[in-house]
Amino acid sequence: MRGAFVQVNNLVRQRFPGLEVHGSNFPIPAWKVPIVRALQAVQLAALAVCFAGDTIFRQINMPPPQWYTANVAPNRFGVGMGVWFVGNTVITNLQNTGAFEVYFDGKLIFSKLAEERMPSIAELLAPIEAYARAHGGVFSAPVGAGSGGGAGGDRLAEAERAAARGDGLPHAAADPDLDLGEL
């Protein structure tokens, strides 16, 4: 989702100079945290065995096992790279929440978790443009992906009604249904 945040950040800063944009990571579910930590420990232990297995087995007064001498020792670098890449892929996928939450003025204006899709440009810009019109283009409200602050639910509701009617988008992209993947 980092690429989507960069696109939203660039779009909002280009359209609304001076508006603060903040990004943060959406927290992973609590049940995944110990699994991720355990896999990270297993990955580091496997890397240690790959690159220092001879020393480790000698220090614990144990002869190197057959699987180590036949498969790991002759190709330490290749096995180590495999452990690194496969481990990182699994850990990264466990940490991926699929979230892309956009807040403006403390209110959620789009949730990928709820909608199960990425937002259109119009969905992101309508509440911000409505706020800008209502306040003469002066911003005190930050835009955030995964974070937010401030108050103003009435302004958000007004912006949502304007977006539903299709008015109030004087600066919207030529294609209001353009999705962020097409930027």
Say if residue 167's pLDDT is above 60.
no
pLDDT level of residue 173 (50, 70, 90 thresholds): very low
At residue 81, the pLDDT reads: 97
Distances (CA, A) of 35 to 27, 85, 182: 15, 18, 36
Distance separating alpha carbons of residues 140 and 9, to the nearest angstrom: 17
Is the pLDDT at 86 greater than 80? The verdict is: yes
Lateral strand order in the sheet of 101-104: 21-23, 143-145, 101-104, 107-111
pTM (whole model) above 0.75: no
**Sign, CA torsion 160/165/166/167:** negative
99-154 pLDDT per residue, tens: 888 888 888 888 998 999 988 888 888 888 888 888 877 665 555 654 333 333 44
Read off the pLDDT of residues 2-52 as tens digits, 9 standing for 90 and up.
Answer: 788 888 888 888 888 878 888 888 899 999 999 999 999 999 999 999 999
Domain limits, the chain: 2-27+99-182, 32-95
